[in-house]
Chains A and B, each alone.
Chain A
Amino acid sequence: MIRAMAYLAAPQMNALRVNLTLATGNPIPYTEIRFPEDIRNVSSTATPDASDMQLPGAEQGHLVQRGDGWSLQGNCTIRALPALKPALDRLAGQNITLSLSELSRLDTAGAYALESLRQRLERSGGSLSLRDVQPDHGALIDRVAQAMPKPETSPKKPMRLTDMLELIGRAVAGSGRFLLELHAMLGLFLARLFSFLRHPGQFRLTALVHHCDQVGWKAVPIVALMSFLIGVVLAFQGAVQLRQFGAEIFVVDLIAISILRELGILLTAIIVAGRTASSFTAAIGSMKMREEIDAMQTLAIDPATVLFVPRILALLITLPILGLIANVSGLFGGAMMAWIELGISPGMFLTRLLEDTSPRHVLVGFVKAPVFALIIGIIGCHAGMGVGGNAESLGRQTSSAVVRSIFAVIVAAALFSVFFALMDI
């Protein structure tokens, strides 16, 4: 069982052990495992042999009456305890004497059972005297008696109204602080960025290129595919509706405006939030967890400069490019579907697109890209810095970074829509 833990700790070793144990050799005589029988069904003679090489599976112990006292026979170990404990719990009376002369094995769990029996009897005004204790058993019982855990009971108070209000207040203050921290992160990023403008020599171009590759280039296939499919869906749904009015040609406007203005950049940002915010959090968080960030600070390396700036800058550079790719492939998907479904030839699609769709839609779309990039990058890096000392919090922060950044991107998109509508753009 200890080994089971070792397995969990070192999963790669598991395979080795499996190989080892599959090479099964001769069966040995111990494989039959007997479980402790219920105390009432057991005769009063001690069964197990007391040899040292006894196997753990066959341990049993019995409590039997001897004259005016009791005697513990066989094994009083953790494996024998489940069957033995009810019998010990039933012992009651003023002065109980328990002989341990016939006890063959005692472990800490057994000693604990004896010690808690003593405590229980003493609490009810009785006593327990152990007789014929073998020296090693006595030493063990003494050791356990010294170490008996003393729970520090802290009475649980019922939740009152003020506690509830306090919880709500803390949650509100917490989210206020969260927003504040995000702004601090933004300020830090901008400050470091401007200091690069003054000292361009310190800029780490390699890191930037690396992150552009991770964030941008590697995301191209998924972004292009997703956008293509959205174009297809829009064209198809638009065709079904617009055909009823004989206004099929307007499907081009439908696709162009919705993709260029809203969907292309928004869906790209959502995909990038899922991919990139989580990877920022995981990368920075695991460094935080292993105190690498503390080490950087002591070595006079600014974590914001080496960790945040290249990542967020890479997002700022690549998100518009990804948005462009999304726009092109969305239009391509829409054009294909319009051709198949409505017979609008690619040439006609293109002419209509160029004549009717004003470039301001494209601009409205791209203006949002840097804002989304900042939101994703800052939330991802901030969540990474919030990781505590254990793997659990790394996982929690990673998933909350994804949820928060997607949520924030959608909220920002909604605000943009309202703004542009009010401004008549």
Chain B
Amino acid sequence: MAADPVIRLRGIRNQFGPAVVHDDLDLDLYRGEVLGVVGGSGTGKSVLLRCIAGLRPPQAGQIEIFGQDALNCSEASRREIDARMGVMFQDGALFSSLTVRENVEVPMKNIKGLDAGLRRELADLKISMSGLPYAAGGKSPSELSGGMRKRAGLARALALDPEIVFLDEPTAGLDPIGASAFDELIKALSESLGLTVFLVTHDLDTLHATCDRIAVLAEKRVMYTGTMADMLHVEHPWVHEYFHGPRARAAIDTLERTN
């Protein structure tokens, strides 16, 4: 696994006017792994995600995705890269005027020759794989709860079987049961579909349950990367507080009890 980075960031700088969010940031994402990105509020996790997903070019640095330079490439090849990546936004970002099924069908409409009947069936499959009941497909996003909207957002992000998915705080705002069901969903999908996952989260349980590797954003760059066990030995005050605070200990305890 370690030999094959699908995303390679080098020297990324992001700034809004004078406010520098990232400076000289390096990060690798390896094929098939689930990378958890953590950091305090406002450290630029969402900005980093948008930057890799191509929604906002960085002010400096290089982004290589699937071995291609993603910043200086033709529009067609960028679109090819995009087709192999999926993004789930914080609240699902579903189109409110479409039903859930139509939302999932949107990305499939670009596939030449795919007839409407098959597209509909595939959308139903994705909805079911995301753990939603069949009836949810015909509902509009406003009729769903927050957790269901997130699942629908995930179904849409997975519509074309992307190789990489970006998830922005997928379990934020979910109840603990819903959140751990979502963790399991991510884990199961990443295993059975061979997904590479870039997961922004605040949720220590999610980190324990799903992530192979953790990247800590602090001081405008990726300060540390490593497994959960590595993180427990980091001396940096914020990282120490994060992984040794009362919530972290509770999460570790539950994990040990379940094992």
Q: Are B122 and A10 in contact (CB under 8 A)?
A: no
- Identify the stretch in A15-23, A157-165, A410-418 within 8 Å (CB) of chain B at 4 or more residues: A15-23
Interface string of B51-95 (1 = CB under 8 A from A): 001111100000000111101111111111011111101000101
Most buried by B among A9, A53, A149: A149
B124 touches A388 (CB 8 A): no
User: Is A350's CB within 8 Å of the partner chain B?
Assistant: no
Q: Does B44 sit at the interface, judged by CB under 8 A?
A: no
Task: List the interface of chain B (C-beta within 8 A of A).
Answer: 4, 31, 50, 53-57, 66-69, 71-80, 82-87, 89, 93, 95-97, 106-115, 118, 121-122, 124-129, 134-135, 137, 140-143, 156-162, 188, 191-194
Question: A25–B69 contact, CB under 8 A?
Answer: yes
List residues of A (128-149) whose CB comes within 8 Å of B's CBs. 136, 139-140, 142-144, 147-149
* Cβ–Cβ contact B76 & A16, under 8 A: no
> A143 and B188 in contact (CB under 8 A), knowing A2-B83, A391-B96?
yes
Q: Give the residues in chain A near B188, CB-CB below 8 Å.
A: 143
Check if A3 sits within 8 Å of B129, measured CB to CB. Answer: no
Give the distance to chain A from B10, nearest Cβ to Cβ, in Å.
16
Contacts of B114 in A (CB 8 A): 78, 81-82
Known pairs A143-B188, A389-B142; A149 contacts B77 (CB<8 A)? no
A-B residue pairs in contact (CB < 8 Å), sample of 17: A1-B83, A3-B53, A3-B87, A6-B53, A13-B56, A17-B55, A23-B72, A24-B73, A53-B66, A78-B114, A78-B122, A83-B113, A108-B129, A109-B161, A152-B135, A389-B143, A392-B96
* A10 and B90 alpha carbons, distance in the complex (Å): 13
Q: Quick check: A149 and B76 within 8 Å, CB to CB?
A: no
Hey, which chain A residues are within 8 Å of B68, CB to CB?
28
Q: In the assembled complex, which residues on chain B have CB atoms less than 8 Å from the CB atom of A288?
A: none
Q: B79 to chain A: which residues have CB within 8 Å?
A: 3
Report the minimum CB–CB distance from B110 to chain A (whole Å): 4
Residues 1-45 of A, flagged 1 when their CB comes within 8 A of B and 0 if not, give 111111011100100110111111111101100011000000000
Asked whether any CB of chain B lies closer than 8 Å to the CB of A102, the reply is no
Report whether A112 and B121 are in contact in the complex, using a CB–CB cutoff of 8 Å: yes
B129 → chain A closest CB, angstroms: 4
A30 touches B142 (CB 8 A): no
Q: Which residues of B contact A6 (CB under 8 A)?
A: 53, 55, 87, 89, 93
A346 within 8 A of B: no
Across the two chains, which residue of chain B brings its CB closest to A16? B56
Q: Hey, which bits of chain A sit against chain B, CB under 8 A?
A: 1-6, 8-10, 13, 16-17, 19-28, 30-31, 35-36, 52-53, 55-57, 77-79, 81-83, 85, 107-109, 112, 116, 136, 139-140, 142-144, 147-152, 388-392
A8 and B125 contact, Cβ closer than 8 Å, known pairs A1-B83, A28-B68: no
Q: Are A79 and B111 in contact (CB under 8 A)?
A: yes
Report the separation of the CA atoms of residues A360 and B205 in the bound assembly, to the nearest whole angstrom: 78
State in angstroms the CA–CA spacing of A35 and B114 once bound together. Answer: 12
| Identity of the chain A residue whose Cβ is nearest the Cβ of B80 in the assembled complex | A55
Contacts of B57 in A (CB 8 A): 16-17, 19-20
**A3 close to B82 (CB less than 8 A):** yes
Tell whether, in the assembled complex, residue A108 and residue B125 are in contact, meaning their CB atoms are under 8 Å apart: yes
Complex partner residue of B140 from A10, A20, A52, A390, CB under 8 angstroms: A390
Q: Is the CB of A112 within 8 A of B125?
A: yes
Closest to A141 in B: B192
Cβ of B86 to closest chain A Cβ, rounded Å: 5
**Which residues of B are found within 8 Å of A389, using beta-carbon distances?**
142-143
What CA separation (Å) do A107 and B111 show in the bound complex?
14
Q: How far, in angstroms, from A149 to B87 measured CA to CA in the complex? A: 24
Min C-beta distance of B6 to chain A, whole Å = 9
Please give 10 more A-B residue pairs, beta carbons under 8 A apart, in addition to A1-B82, A25-B69.
A2-B87, A2-B162, A4-B106, A6-B55, A9-B93, A10-B55, A16-B57, A24-B73, A136-B194, A139-B191
In the assembled complex, which residues on chain B have CB atoms less than 8 Å from the CB atom of A140?
Answer: 192-193
- Compute how far the CA of A23 lies from the CA of B56 in the bound complex, rounded to whole angstroms: 14
**Contact in complex: A8, B83 (CB < 8 Å):** no
Are A16 and B55 in contact, CB atoms less than 8 angstroms apart?
A: yes
CA distance A152 to B193 in the complex (A): 27
Q: How far is the CB of B252 from chain A (nearest CB, A)?
A: 30
Contact A149 B192 (CB under 8 A): no
Nearest CB of B to A50, in Å: 14
CB of B54 within 8 A of CB of A108, answer no
Query: Are A109 and B107 touching (Cβ within 8 A)?
Result: no
CB distance from B157 to the nearest CB of A (A): 6
Do B107 and A1 touch (CB < 8 A)? yes
Q: How far is the CA of A392 from the CA of B89 in the complex (A)?
A: 21
CB-CB under 8 A for A78 and B67, given A17-B54, A108-B129: no
Whether the pair A4, B77 counts as a contact (CB closer than 8 A) is: no
Kindly identify which residue among B78, B80, B87 contacts A57, using a CB–CB cutoff of 8 Å.
B80
CB-defined contacts of B97 to chain A, threshold 8 Å: 390-392
Minimum CB distance partner of B82 in chain A: A3
Interface centre among A2, A25, A53, A147 (most CB of B within 10 A): A2
Interchain CB contact under 8 A, B89 and A9: yes
| Distance in angstroms between the alpha carbons of A22 and B124 in the assembled complex | 37
A61 to B125, CA, bound (A): 21
